[in-house]
Structure 1
Amino acid sequence: MADAKLQIIPLGGLGEFGMNCLALRYKDDILVIDAGLMFPETELLGVDIVVPDISYLVENRELVRGIVLTHGHEDHIGGLPWILSELNVPVYATEFTLAYVEGKLDEHKMLDDTELIEILPGVKFTLGPFTVEPIRVTHSLVDCVALAIDTPVGVVVHTGDFKIDFSPPDGKAIDLHKFAEYGKRGILALLQDSTNVDRPGYTPGEWSVRPRLDEIFSRTKRKLFFSCFSSSIYRIRIALELAQQHGRKVAILGRSMVESSEIAQDLGYIDVPQGLIIHPGQINDHAPENVMVLISGTQGEPMSALSRASVDNHKHARIQPGDTVLLSSRVIPGNEKSIGRVIDHLCRRDAQVIYDDGSHGLIHVSGHASQEEQRLMINLLRPKFFIPVHGDYRNLKKHAELAKNTGVVKEAIVIEDGDVLELDGESAVRSGKVTAGRICIDSGSTADVVQDIVIRDRRHLSEDGFVLPILTINKLTGLVERQPELVTRGFVSGETGLMEAAREVVIKTLENSTAEEKADYGVIKEKIRIDLKRYIQKNTSRRPLIMPVILEI
C-alpha cells in the first residue's frame, strides 16, 4: 500500500481545555497520546468528571498498540481508568508519571491488570510502525516529555505541555538540541501546546518566584500556610527550602499534597533534611513563627484541607488572626467563585491572604509556553504542517495564525475533536469525522456514566422542580380510598389555591376514566401526568417534572 496515509485523529483537547487524547493511525496500527479528563462546567449538574468519548478506539480495539503519556497532570492521565476499562492496552510513561498512574489505577483496583512500561528521554521504543523518541521538556510538573514519532510517511512531533526553561529546580532543562536535530532532519507535522497563545513574550522560569516568596517568608511573623497545586513539585521544593532557610518546621496537609510530596521524595526530586517535616498534630508544639503548613486546596475545592481550615473545621490547621495564607497558584477558569469564597472566609479569620491578583509580585508562574517560545519551537523544527493542540477553538485559531506568520510552515491546519486529518509526505487533507464527544461520569466511578437525558432531567428539576400526585387505590375494589395528595419540591405555586385546583384536576381525571383505565396503573398515571402538566403550564408558564405515584392498599 504505497499510497497509505497517516491519520491524526483528536478525541479530546482540541476545542476545550482538558480531556487531552489523540490517536495516530497508520494502516492497521493506532498509537494513542494521553488520556485526560476535564472537570465539568456548572451546567453539568452533579457530574464529577468528563472524559473523551473513545467509541472510535473501542470499535478498533484490536488495532490499538498502546497509550503514551506526555506527563502526569489530570488533563492528560485522569481518563486512564475509564479508557483502560474499555481497552486493555500497555501504558508508556516516564518514572514520575507512572507513579501518579499507579496510584490512580490502584484506587480503581485496575493496577494488577494493566501493563505499565517506563520510558526514558532520548531512548527510542517501537509500537507497530511507530518509532517513538521521548524528548525532555520543562513544564510545571517534573519528568515531562514531548514525543518525536517516526512514521512511514514522516516524523510527527507532539510537544505535550511545555515551556522553555533552561534552569528548572531539578536541573533537567528542556532538550532544545534534540528538537534542533529533528528540525535539520525534516519534520512532517508539529502538534504544539496552545494554552498560552494569548500571552506575548516568554514565560518566566520556575526559579523566578523564589525572590518574592523569600520576601514573604521574611515578613511573616506568625504561621505561614503555603498552598500550591499538589503536582507543582518545583514549587513544593522551593517552599521546603525556604522553610529550612527561615527556621520553620513543615506540616503537610491534604491527601494529594501528602501523596505528591512522598512520591517526589521517593524519586529524588525533593531532598528533605532530617527533622524538617513534623506531624500535623505537632503544629501547636512549636511557636507560630517557626511553622509552615504546606496545604492543598488552591482552587477552593469544598472538602480540601484549605477550605475546611478557612471555616475552622480542620483537625490540625487552625488559622489564627495574624497568620499568613499564601496561594501560589493561578485561578483555573470556572473556579473564581469557590476561590473567592475561601479568601473571604480567611479574611474573616483575620489572616493576611496573598494570592495572584497582580499586586503581590511574582508568586506564581505558568507551566506553558508563551508566544515567543512557541515561535522558537516552530523555527527550530520547521515543520511542513502545523497543527495546534490543547485549547479552545479561539486558542487553536490564534496559534495557527502565529505559526503562519513565522513563514517556515507550509500550512497551518486547525482541526477539532473527531476530525480525521490524513497526511502523506506532501499533503494534509481532512477526510471526514469519527465519533467524538464527552462522557460524563458521576462519583469518579468508571461505571457511573451519566447520559445526556439524565443531565437534561437534572437541569429540568433545578429550574422547575417537581410535583408528585399521590393516589391511594384499593387493590381489591379499584376505588380511590382518599383525596389525592400533591407533594412539591422546588416548585413554587404563583397563586393561592393553585395546588387545591390542581388536586381537583387529578380528581376530575379519575372521574372521567373507566374502570379498565383505573385498573391499568400505567395508563392512569400517564393521563394524570398529561392533564396536570397542561393545567400547571397554562396557569404558571412553568413545567415541573410530574411523577404520579400510586399506593396500593
Structure 2
Amino acid sequence: MTKRKERLRVVPLGGLDEIGKNMTVLELGNDMIVIDAGLMFPDDDTPGVDLILPDYSYVLKRKEKLRGIVITHGHEDHTGALPYLLKDLGQPVPVLGTRLTLGLVKGKLEEHRLTKAKLREVKPGSHVSLGAFGLDFLAVNHSIPDGVAVLARTPVATVLHTGDFKLDQTPIDGRLTDYAGFTKAGRGGVTLLLSDSTNADRQGHTPSEAVVGETLRRIFAQASGRIIVASFASHIHRVQQVCDAALASGRKIVVTGRSMVNNTRIARELGYLNVPESEILDAYDMRDLPPEKVVVLCTGSQGEPLSALARIANRDHKTVSVEPGDTVIIAASPVPGNEKAVSRVINRLYKAGANVIDKGSAQVHVSGHGAAEELKLMVNMTRPRYFVPVHGETHHLHAHARLAASVGVPEDSVFVLENGQCLEIDETGARVAEHVESGVKYVDGLSVGDVGQVVLRDRQVLSSDGIAMVVVVIDSQTGSVAAEPEIVMRGVVLTGSDEVDVVSEMRARVHKALARTAAEGVTDHGVIKKVLRDSLSSFVWERSRMRPMIIPVVLEV
C-alpha cells in the first residue's frame, strides 16, 4: 500500500476580497496553526450589527490539531476575533505575539474575562516550534510598533506570511524592516509567499511616517487656539508624533476616548510611547489652562457616532468643547464606507467655528502599507516559488498578482484565492483544492453568530421602506370580518392623499381580501395572512413604489 504524500494546506478564512477580519490557517497532518484572528466593522449593509468576524468553524472542527495562534501585530483587523475564537475553542491554546501586541491583546481578553489565556511573547529573530511548524519572526514596519512577519518551516514547504508592512527607511522608532532576514529566507527557499496587498494599486513608495511629524510640528507652531487631533488609538507611531509636536510647541496633552486612553497607557507602560507623565493632563484639569497650551488627543477619525470626536462636534462631550479658532486635525484616512460619517463630523466642526485639517489639505496621514515598488522588492528579496496576495479587496489582490508576475514569478505560480479556498502544497507542487466552510459571524450585542441574512434583510427593509401592521378579527367559523381592521404604519410614505384617506383605502382593500377568503370558507391563519400581505403590498407599491415590511395579525372570535 502506497503511503499518502504529506500535504500542507493553506486556508484563508478572512482578509481576501475585503479589508479586515484577517485569518489564515496552515495545516499539516495532525498539526495546525492560525495566523491572525481579526474582525471587520459593519457598514450600511449590516444594520444593527456591532462587529463582523470570520467564520472559523474550520478551526473549531479541528481544534485538537491546533498548536497555537500567531498574531502579527496589534490592530483590530488582526486581533479583534481572538476573544471570540478562544471562548469557542473552550481549551487553552498558546497565543504568540510580540510584547506590545500581547499587551494590547491582554487588555482585550480581560474585557472578555479571559484571564487564563496562554500568552507567549516572541521577539524578531526568535524561533518557536509548534508541532510540525518551526516559526521564525522577522521585524516589519507598519503603522503600529512591534509588527512581525512569520516564516513557517515544515517538512513539506516553507511559507512566509508578511503580515501588514511598509518599507519605511526612516521609521520614527528606528526599528527597520529586517531586510537581511527576508533575503536570507529567500536564499534558503520560500515555497509560498503570502503578502499584504492593501496598496498594490498605488505606484511608487509609501511616504515615511516621519513626514507626518514634520507637518504636525508646522501646524502646531502656527495654531492659535486649542488643537484637537483624532487618530486611530492603535496608531502608536502617530500618537508619539502628536505628543512630540505638542511638547515642542509648549502644549500639554489631554487624552480622551476609552480605547485611546487604554492604548496610550499600555504603550507607555511597555516603553513604546515616550512622553513624560507630567505632560499628560486629566481632561478636567485642562480647564485651568489657556486654549493655546492644550492638545487633545482623541478617537473618532472614522466618524463613529459615539466616539470622542463625534461627541465633541455634537457639543455633548463631558470635558472637551470646540470653540471658534480651534484647530481639528483628522490624522487618518477614512476606511471605505466611512466617508459620509467622517464628512458629517467635519461639517459640524466647521459650524462650531473650528479649522479642520485632514489628509486632503495637509500631509497629516500616510499609509502603513507598502506601495507597488515596496511590494515588488519584497518578492525580489524572498524569491518565492509560489505567490498568494492577501489582505485586500479583489482589485488589490489582482494588482498584486500582476506585480509579482512583473518581477519574475510565473503566472501559473500565482494564486488569487477566495476566503475558504484551500491551497495544497506537496512535493509535486501547489494546486487549488476544495472550498471549505467560510463566511462571517455577526456580533450583535451579546449575540454571536445568531444574526443571519434573513434578519439583516428585514433590518434593511425596515430602515429603507418602513413597516405596516394590519390587525384583523375574524369569525372562527365563517372567516368573515368580526371587527373593523386596525392599520398602523411607521416610516411608510404614501402620496396623493392625506393619512386618513390612505388608511380608509387600505381598510377597503383588507375588507375586499377578507370577503374573498370568507366566500371560499378559508379560516387558516397562514392563508389569510398571505392574502392580506399580498393585497397591502400591492397597494403600497402602487402608491409609493416602496416595499415595506407587512405584518398581518389575525385574531379569532
* TM-score interval, normalised by the smaller of the two chains: over 0.9
Match of 2:179 in 1: 176
Distance change >3 Å, CA 396–CA 499, structure 1 → 2 = same
**CA–CA separation in structure 1 for the residues paired with 2:546 and 2:269:** 59
Question: What is aligned with 1:374?
Answer: 375
Classify 1:179/1:322 alpha carbon distance in 2 versus 1 (closer, same or farther; 3 Å): same
* Structure 2 unpaired stretches of 5+: none
Residues 495 and 113 of structure 1, relative CA distance in 2, 3 Å threshold: farther
Q: Answer yes or no: is the 8 Å Cα contact 2:329–2:357 preserved in 1.
A: yes
Give distance in 2, aligned partners of 1:6 and 1:26: 5
The answer to whether the aligner puts 1:328 opposite 2:331 as a matched pair is yes
Q: How does 1:417-436 map to 2 (within 5 A)?
A: 417-436=419-438
- Give CA-to-partner distance per residue, 1:45-93, whole Å, 9 cap, x none: 2222211122222332322222211111111111223322322433222
Match among 213, 218, 229 for residue 216 of structure 2 = 213
Deviation at 1:527, TM superposition (A): 4.2
1:118-267 alignment to 2 at 5 Å? 118-267=121-270
Q: Aligned match of 2:40 in 38, 41, 48?
A: 38
Distance 1:345 1:100, change over 3 A: same
Tell me which residue corresponds to 1:454. Answer: 455
| Aligned partner (choices 310, 320, 341) of residue 344 of structure 2 | 341
Question: What's the CA shift for 1:205?
Answer: 2.2
Shift of 1:197: 0.9
Give the SS at the match of 2:448. coil
Matches of 1:49 and 1:298, distance apart in 2: 18
Equivalents in 2 of 1:412, 1:442: separation in Å?
Answer: 38
Q: How far apart in 2 are the matches of 1:302 and 1:212?
A: 28
From 95, 99, 105, the equivalent of 1:101 is 105
Q: C-alpha distance in 2, partners of 1:113/1:550?
A: 53
**Cα separation, 2, equivalents of 1:262 and 1:336:** 29
Q: 1:334 to 1:532 in 2, by over 3 A?
A: closer
CA distance in 2, matches of 1:520, 1:113: 56
Give the CA deviation at 1:173: 1.9
1:299 aligns with 2:302: yes
Distance 1:121 1:522, change over 3 A: same
Q: Deviations over 1:438-492 (max 9, x none)?
A: 223223x453631011111122233332221123569999986531111112222
Provide the rounded CA distance (Å) in 1 between the counterparts of 2:545 and 2:175: 64
- 1:311, CA displacement in angstroms? 2.2
Name the residue aligned to 1:351.
354
Q: Which residue of 2 aligns with 1:463?
A: 464
Per the TM alignment, residue 235 of structure 1 is displaced from its structure 2 partner at its CA by 1.3
Identity in percent? 42
Cα distance change on mapping 1:540 and 1:234 into 2, 3 Å: closer
User: Does the 8 A contact of 1:248 with 1:291 survive in 2?
Assistant: yes
Q: Is the 8 A contact 1:300 1:339 kept in 2?
A: yes
Matched letter for residue 434 of structure 2: G
Partner of 2:485: 484
Question: Which letter does structure 1 place at the counterpart of 2:509?
Answer: V
In 1, Cα distance between equivalents of 2:545 and 2:235 = 51
Question: Is 2:100–2:272's contact at 8 Å kept on the other side of the alignment?
Answer: no
RMSD of the TM alignment (CA)? 2.5
Pairwise CA distance, 1:395:
1.0
Q: 1:514 to 1:375 in 2, by over 3 A?
A: closer
- Counterpart of 2:444 in structure 1 is 442
TM-score by length of 2: 0.92
Letter in 1 for 2:96: Y
Between 1:453-462 and 1:281-290, the stretch displaced more is: 453-462
**Length, aligned pairs only:** 549
For the residues of structure 1 that align with 2:337 and 2:304, how far apart are their CA atoms? 12
Indicate if the aligned counterparts of 1:517 and 1:523 stay in contact, CA closer than 8 A.
no
The one-letter code of the counterpart of 2:391 is H
Give unmatched runs, 5+ long, in structure 1: none
Select 1:499's aligned residue among 488, 500, 503: 503
Deviations 1:377-430 (A, max 9, x none): 111111111111111111111111111111256822211111111112452111
Distance 2:152 2:470 in 1: 63
8 Å CA contact retained: 1:510, 1:518? no
In 2 relative to 1, CA 426–402 (structure 1 residues): closer, same or farther, beyond 3 Å? Answer: farther
CA distance in 2 between counterparts of 1:201 and 1:373 reads 8
Partner of 1:414: 416
Partner of 2:390: 389
For 2:244 and 2:85, locate their aligned partners in 1 and report how far apart those are by CA, in whole Å: 39
> Counterpart in 1 of 2:287?
284
In structure 2, what is the Cα distance between the partners aligned to 1:212 and 1:536?
Answer: 56
Q: Is the 8 A contact 1:131 1:149 kept in 2?
A: yes
Q: Distance in 1 between matches of 2:225 and 2:254?
A: 15
Offset at 1:119? 2.0
Give the drift of 1:191. 0.6
Change (3 A) 1:539 1:336: closer
1:477 to 1:425, Cα distance in 2 relative to 1, 3 A: closer
Cα drift, residue 543 of structure 1: 3.3
3-state SS, counterpart of residue 115 of structure 2: helix
TM-score scaled by length of structure 1: 0.93
- Aligned-residue offset at 1:536: 4.6
| Contact 1:467/1:486, CA 8 A, preserved across alignment | yes
1: CA distance between counterparts of 2:190 and 2:480? Answer: 80
| Contact 2:478 2:523 (C-alpha < 8 Å) held by counterparts | no
Letter of the 1:193 counterpart: D
Task: After the TM superposition, list the runs of 4 or more consecutive aligned residues in structure 1 that deviate by more than 6 angstroms.
Answer: 473-479, 515-519
Tell which deviates more after alignment, 415-424 or 90-99: 90-99
CA–CA distance in 2 between the matches of 1:222 and 1:534? 59
Mapped contact 1:379–1:408 kept (Cα < 8 A): no
2: CA distance between counterparts of 1:395 and 1:121? 28
SS in 2 for 1:275: helix
Choose which of 72, 75, 80 in structure 2 pairs with 1:73.
Answer: 75
Contact 2:480-2:515 within 8 A present in 1 as well: no
Cα distance between partner residues in 1 of 2:242 and 2:544: 58
Q: Report if the CA contact (8 A) 2:478-2:518 is conserved.
A: no
State the distance in 2 between where 1:399 and 1:335 align: 25
Distance across 1 between alignment mates of 2:422 and 2:76: 25
Q: Using the TM superposition, give the Cα deviation of residue 228 of structure 1 relative to its aligned residue in structure 2, in angstroms.
A: 1.5
CA distance in 2, matches of 1:314, 1:506: 50
Residue aligning to 1:64: 66
